[in-house]
Amino acid sequence: KSVSSGKTTYKSPSNIALVKYWGKKKNQIPANPSISFTLSECATVTTLSYTKLDTPSAIFSFDVSLDGKKEEGFKPKIKTFFERVYQYLPFLKDYHFEIETSNSFPHSSGIASSASGMSALALCLMEIERNLNPMMTAEFFNQKASFLARLGSGSAARSIKGSLVQWGEHEDIDASSDLYGVEYPHKVHPVFQNYCDTILLVDKGQKQVSSTVGHDLMHGHPFAEQRFNQAHENLLKLQSIFETGDIDEFIGIVESEALTLHAMMMTSRPYFILMKPNTLEIINKIWAFRETSKTHVCFTLDAGANVHVLYPENEKVEVEQFIKDELAQFCQNGQFINDHVGKGAQKI
Ligand code: PMV
């Protein structure tokens, strides 16, 4: 069945890795498995309008806008994405696409929009695929959306569902796959439900080194092998932590993962540093507050200077006060975003 034109909108969240993906093989296959909390407030909304062409185009025909303004800068990344997914979505050259996108977080805030953006676009494309193939199951739909999102940006594979998503094969964890993200299949203690994440916007500048380049630098990295093994071990440890609710052990793994990610950057050739002085100020404040307050606040980092402050829901009042009083001063224009674990993408 051929559809001549239509429009579809998805809202897809960002996610924050607890065990980090850093390093990849060919075709966006991760060098190690990772796991993340799906976020809720930090999201991209994408509307995809499609019009059937009279004759299939030799090239991909599309326009992109961000917040209502044409955004030529996004085109190369989307073109690459289309090239990668074309073999799985052969209708791509039959249509002209208008991609309208907007983010819930401030533009160029240093929050990675690739996970939310690529997953939203993948879901919109799957909606067209479902028109052509109405019998597909919801499970297949989500799996293929994650598979396609992965080809846009690895971490995007973890943004389709919530609240805890694993991506990358692990011998001891059921149903894990290198090809798409799966909802974490084991027991999760209530203390980890509705977990909070306040994102501190430390530096809004363009990153000096892209994550594509960073992943590549894990090839021939002197510590690569140990790091990939460690990620497997940390995932396994998290499995029992999630079951028992041992939050102190959780903190140990999550903070170590964040610092290890940045240690990999600092020990590659060429080496680089994405943390800023205020990143370290914040980390020290968090450690001091954890000592004195009896809360279980901890931090994690993405490939950038911003800090994700993680804490259980029942400590929200105390930790949010601490963030306002002591951490906001280290953020650009005092900006931060209070977020929490979410349930994944939704059709709008
Ligand atoms: O999805 P990419 O290629 O932008 O890589 C992101 C990697 C980290 O955010 C640093 C870690 C992760 O697992 O999300």
What pLDDT, on a 0 to 100 scale, did the predictor assign at position 37? 98
| Predicted confidence (pLDDT) at residue 110 exceeds the cutoff of 60 | yes
Q: Are 37 and 163 in contact (CB under 8 A)?
A: yes
Q: Are 102 and 168 in contact (CB under 8 A)?
A: no
The 10s digit of each residue's pLDDT in 129-147 is 999 999 999 999 999 999 9
Q: How large is the average pLDDT for residues 208-217?
A: 92
Q: How large is the average pLDDT for residues 247-276?
A: 97
The 10s digit of each residue's pLDDT in 222-233 is 999 999 999 999
Q: What is the DSSP code (8-state) at residue 219?
A: T
Q: How far is the CA of 254 from the centre of ligand 1 (A)?
A: 15
For the chain, the average pLDDT equals 95
Q: What H or E segment, with its residue span, contains residue 49?
A: strand 34-52
Q: How far is the CA of 238 from the centre of ligand 1 (A)?
A: 19
ipTM of this complex > 0.95? Answer: yes
The rounded percent of the chain whose pLDDT value lies above 90 is: 90
pTM of the model as a whole: 0.96
List pocket residues of ligand 1, CB cut-off 6 Å.
17, 20-22, 34, 112, 114, 153-155, 211, 215, 261, 302-303
From 77, 113, 302, 307, give the residue whose CB has the most ligand 1 atoms within 8 Å, as the site to mutate.
302
The rounded percent of the chain whose pLDDT value lies above 70 is: 98
The more confident residue out of 96 and 71 is: 96
Domains and CATH numbers, the chain: 5-187 (3.30.230.10), 193-340 (3.30.70.890)
| Residue 23 φ/ψ region, left for φ over 0, alpha for ψ in the -120 to 50 degree band, beta for the rest | left
The 10s digit of each residue's pLDDT in 41-57 is 999 999 999 999 999 99
Query: Number of C-alpha atoms within 13 angstroms, CB side, residue 169?
Result: 6
Q: How far is the CA of 158 from the centre of ligand 1 (A)?
A: 10
